[in-house]
Structure 1
């Protein structure tokens, strides 16, 4: 598999939730997905995640170098909300 981009599917805006979460994000992350990079643009997200969702309204994660061989493809703090379908594609 080629390079992937980690993208965040964000919760819908909530009128009663006016303050950002402790991580500084305006909207909490609902699900973490993986998407292939766009053809010819190694830092751009392709149009669909590995599970088939449209990436248009998703936010790409900041690029960070892998800290260790075998480290997960997603930020550890989001482990509980990783898309199981994207994870399954990556594991194969």
Structure 2
């Protein structure tokens, strides 16, 4: 069984006037499975079908918070509605 991980779709560098060393803002929060046979790696696609290549894996692990939402609450306003619908099933 694969684990579900949280990944962040980040703003493009410079999209908000950020310089090279600045932290990029989270544009959307997605859910993805781990890579088959490689639980330390994120699978190639989110549950909504987006490519995870340029996304950043969150430290938040849904399996460590079974009584809470699958995503960190500080990013509730940018959760992908398609990923959320899949996670609700």
Question: Which of the two has greater strand per residue?
Answer: 2
The alignment covers a number of residue pairs equal to 85
Q: How far has the Cα of 1:13 moved from its partner? A: 1.2
Q: Secondary structure at the match of 1:79?
A: helix
Equivalent residue for 1:39, pick from 20, 36, 39: 36
Counterpart for residue 87 of structure 1? 84
Where structure 2 has 5 or more consecutive residues not aligned to the other structure, the ranges are none
Which residues of 2 match residues 51-70 of structure 1 at below 5 A?
A: 51-64=48-61, 65-66=64-65, 69-70=66-67
- In the alignment, structure 1 segments of 5+ residues that lack a partner are 21-25
Q: Aligned residue for 1:17?
A: 18
C-alpha distance in structure 1 between counterparts of 2:11 and 2:52, whole Å: 14
TM-score (norm 2): 0.85
Shift of 1:36: 0.7
Which structure 2 residues correspond to residues 63-78 of structure 1 after superposition, within 5 A?
63-64=60-61, 65-66=64-65, 69-78=66-75
Runs of 4+ deviating beyond 6 Å: none
Deviation at 1:63, TM superposition (A): 4.3
Tell me the TM-score normalized by structure 1: 0.82
